[in-house]
Copies of this chain bind each other. A is one copy, B any other.
Amino acid sequence: MERSVPTSADVARLAGVSRATVSYVLNNTSSVRISEPTRRRVREAARELGYVPHAAARSLRAGHTRMVLMPAPEVVASPLYSGLFNELHWALSRLDYTVVQFGSAGQSGDQAARAWAELRPAAVLTYSTFSARLGARGVDVLKRSGVRAVITLGQERTEGAHAVLMDQRAVGRCAGDHLLARGRRRIGVVVPEEPGLEAYSLPRLEGVRRAAQGTGAEITEVPLAYDEGSAARLAGRWRRLALDGVFAYNDEYAMLLMRALQDEGIGVPDETAVMGADDLMLGRLLRPRLSTVRIELPSGRELAEIVDRAVRDPGAPPEVHKVLGVTPVPREST
């Protein structure tokens, strides 16, 4: 049996006031003068009946919401990005925004933009492959529907949107420079076979290629799935690849590959230098200790402030923030 849901009319009846008065009191409308005893009577009636006002109705009246819409994640984020997004959620909550995560699997950028626009968010914050899919047309659909700010996180700018650029090429470039400085000339670059990581892995590969330009070093793309079997097979044909260095995408793939190389009797770093990225603690626990690229992301608070500023000033021209910092962390594996 369903209990009937109390309405503002029920509250009005119990408190002996009009529905308008109920609405004014519960929405804290300060422009209407209502005596404190009446306010108290309305609040007590609402509590007794278990009535709470409806945010959708309020949002219609206000003409906009405090909603920040983000696409639902398509892949499990690395610890680095999970941490950032958690922080961002918190920071947005503290600024009184509500974060809505919205799935849009298999939709085109246009379809997704129209579905997002229907929710009338104050801001849309996209990242990774979503940013690319949205495109200038998607941004336009969102803005015309009244979205105050569109912010894209990722590799490239999208016309009309604020850009928080995280250029993954810089990660590859940093790893490439380090391996080259260590005298490596036949360098492999791990490209994970798991779907959804291309937005990170391909720019990283490109970054290594750029580092090698004009050095005479040879760059080889090395596909690897995140399982022991795939790593063992790769290690089994490693000597034929004749690589003297490898940038293994991140620390987790580096750990997997380094273990397989060691099990195959390949010396790290003597025969092959191995470099990861992310600077996870586990890399320091390995023997040899893993060299890595430390990636500095903005804090969730900084991102939230970029969103908030954009919402406050919807007419401002698109800003570009370059936020990815990289530092090589040489340890024993290179």
Contact = CB atoms under 8 A, between A and B. Distances in A.
B314 A285 contact: no
B50 A144 contact: yes
Listed from nearest, the 3 A-B pairs whose CB atoms lie closest are A93-B103, A50-B144, A5-B146
Interface in A95-136: 98-105, 114, 117-120
23 contacts: A1-B315, A2-B314, A2-B315, A3-B144, A49-B144, A51-B144, A51-B145, A54-B60, A56-B119, A60-B60, A73-B86, A79-B79, A82-B82, A89-B101, A90-B103, A92-B103, A93-B103, A93-B105, A98-B100, A98-B103, A99-B102, A101-B101, A282-B282
A55 B120 contact: yes
Given A5-B146, A76-B82, A52 B141 contact: yes
A169 interface: no
A109 to B, nearest CB: 15
Interface of A: 1-3, 5-6, 49-60, 65, 72-73, 75-77, 79, 82-83, 86, 89-90, 92-94, 98-105, 114, 117-120, 140-141, 143-146, 226-228, 252, 255-256, 259, 281-282, 284-285, 314-315
Contacts of A79: 76, 79
Given A60-B54, A118-B53, A282-B282, A3 B228 contact: no
B118 A90 contact: no
A60 to B, nearest CB: 5
Given A56-B60, A120-B54, A120-B56, A3 B143 contact: yes
Nearest to A226: B281
A5 B65 CA distance: 14
Contacts of A94: 103, 105
A99 B59 CA distance: 18
B89 A145 contact: no
Contact of A5 (B1, B56, B145): B145
A284 B53 contact: no
A101 to B, nearest CB: 5
Could you say which of A58, A141, A281 has the most chain B C-beta atoms within 10 Å of its C-beta?
A: A281
B120 A227 contact: no
A113 to B, nearest CB: 9
